[in-house]
Structure 1
Amino acid sequence: MPVYKIAIGTPGEASHPDALKAAVAEFFSMLIFVFAGQGSGMAFNKITSNGSQTPSGLIAAALAHAFALFVAVSVGANISGGHVNPAVTFGAFIGGNMTLLRCILYWIAQLLGSIAACLLLKLATGGLETSAFALSTGVSVGNALIFEIVMTFGLVYTVYATAVDPKKGNLGIVAPIAIGFIVGANILVGGAFDGASMNPAVSFGPAVVSGTWTHQWVYWAGPLIGATIAALVYDNIFIGDNHHERLPVADY
């Protein structure tokens, strides 16, 4: 990828009203997503006694995350681009669609949104712990890393195809639902193995609130590697220098 597509940004960008509004939008979108996603698992456990580990619990988690992400992306799309994921934000940076400083600003807002959602869930449920992501029995760190890389590649590739590509046309209308669908589908695949995070913020919030940090690095390294590969592949093969244009923040 040509170096000129990478932009650091200016110091004043972090305090620009539009950048701050975008960060606030990412905070609330992440709060909505994590509250619904984590909350669905907690609710299922409450009514079925650890039923989240059953096939029906996996399906319920996939549907809850797909629906919640569809909404979270939609409500933030016109303000921040509706990233709702540090890996998506990093992929946008790698493809030259946002500056490093704005990327960091988004990351801070996304992580704080996830933590806030988990704290609110703990408060609302009378002290129940939000479940930290963990590897299932028999699943190695290497297995989980591959799962996270491949699943996040699919997610960020979908983001590029439906939301970033300048040639997307009317396809951009279905971007939020396509993004929600790929996350729900990936949870059905990887949920039984490593929880299917695909999102460092989604795994970070529960880890902070529960104090459980086992294998946390996997849920950062995997998504960031997968996002990088997806951005480089799509940007260089399908967008290219002839069609590349820096997009407004509302379009990632």
Structure 2
Amino acid sequence: MAAERRGNAYVVMPLDRVTDSGGMTMSEFTNNDATIKVEEGKDTDSNGSKTDVGRYLEVFGAELVGTGVLLCIGCASCIAGDDDKPITDFHSALTFGFTVSTIICIFGHISAAHLNPAVTVAFYVLGHINVPMMLVYFIAQIMGAIMGVGVLVLLTPEGWIKSDMCVTQPHDNLTGYQAAGIEFVATMALIFLVCGLSDPRCAARQDSVPLKFAALLIALSLAVGKYTGASLNPVRSLGPAIWTGNWNQHWVYWVSPLSAGIVTPLFYTTCFLRGGQS
């Protein structure tokens, strides 16, 4: 049971402390504060654990591929095809939600499958990663998003690519500030889930983590998709914007999610964690 729980605890693992021999739950981590010592020119320490360089490469690869797969599959659901039938919010919500849950199953034990700079910022605020690791996440996620949409464009017939393919933009009746508020609140809900699963008191409730994220993302997409496209993720909006050249109110999809990634964990740790300990 203990080994199985460690394998599933991919959301609560402080990644700068995870070795290549397996993960640990947050409660196990707080009782075993051993760190990995880095020897220059080597990618493992004397105990065979991954050093900083090895961890950076693992995380970079997992986030690059994971984010690329998310954008490629997710944005494919936004393409109508020959019959040009309208794409419903339900269609895209299911695709993005279940794609995220599957990627968590694949890469969760390697990088915690952030796939989203807002989640990465939250992990930093919670104290689970340091600045260099945060930058590794950011670079991998940005590159992955651009590459993922690029692969989709390359494999899709030219006539199917529209000027607003998979682009998130506010409804015409919304002001930029209204859209920013909606994205902020929706991303807060996502980050609250991250904070809750990172809470030491939740260490024994990790078995259905992928489905929890799928359910929340589907619900949020259905709720706010008609307002802003339900991005909740800067790079999810960046990839399509780069390939279509559509930058309408693009600032909303960076300012709001990243702000929520900072504010939400601060609120959670202040109000809900005993003694402010993460």
Number of the residue aligned with 1:202: 236
Match of 2:65 among 13, 28, 49: 28
Structure 2: tracts of 5 or more residues without a match: 1-15, 17-37, 44-50
1:227 aligns with 2:261: yes
Once the two structures are overlaid, the 10-residue window that deviates more, 167-176 or 117-126, is 167-176
- Whether the 8 Å contact between 1:149 and 1:223 is mirrored in structure 2 is yes
Higher helix share goes to which structure? Answer: 1
1:212 aligns with 2:259: no
1:1-252 equivalences under 5 Å are 16-42=53-79, 45-46=80-81, 48-49=83-84, 51-52=86-87, 57-127=88-158, 128-129=161-162, 130-162=165-197, 164-241=198-275, 243-244=277-278
Aligned mates of 1:232, 1:17 — CA distance in 2: 30
Report the Cα offset of residue 48 of structure 1: 4.9
Report the Cα offset of residue 240 of structure 1: 3.9
Aligned mates of 1:242, 1:95 — CA distance in 2: 10
- Whether the 8 Å contact between 1:135 and 1:193 is mirrored in structure 2 is yes
Report the Cα offset of residue 168 of structure 1: 0.9
Deviations 1:97-116 (A, max 9, x none): 11111111101101111111
**Higher relative contact order (CA closer than 8 Å, sequence separation 6+):** 1
Report the Cα offset of residue 241 of structure 1: 3.7
- Whether the 8 Å contact between 1:95 and 1:231 is mirrored in structure 2 is yes
Alignment RMSD (CA, Å)? 2.1
Q: Secondary structure at the match of 2:111?
A: coil
Structure 1: tracts of 5 or more residues without a match: 1-6, 245-252
Number of the residue aligned with 1:3: none
Deviations 1:211-243 (A, max 9, x none): 222211100001011122211122222224464
Aligned mates of 2:153, 2:264 — CA distance in 1: 35
Alignment length (residue pairs)? 228
Number of the residue aligned with 2:48: none
Alignment-mate amino acid for residue 177 of structure 2: G
Aligned mates of 1:237, 1:101 — CA distance in 2: 28
- Whether the 8 Å contact between 2:269 and 2:277 is mirrored in structure 1 is no
- Whether the 8 Å contact between 2:269 and 2:276 is mirrored in structure 1 is no
Report the Cα offset of residue 76 of structure 1: 1.4
Report the Cα offset of residue 47 of structure 1: 5.4
**Structure 1: which 4+ aligned runs deviate by more than 3 Å?**
12-15, 240-243
Number of the residue aligned with 2:20: none
Which structure has the larger Rg?
2
Alignment-mate amino acid for residue 208 of structure 2: V
Aligned mates of 2:97, 2:64 — CA distance in 1: 18
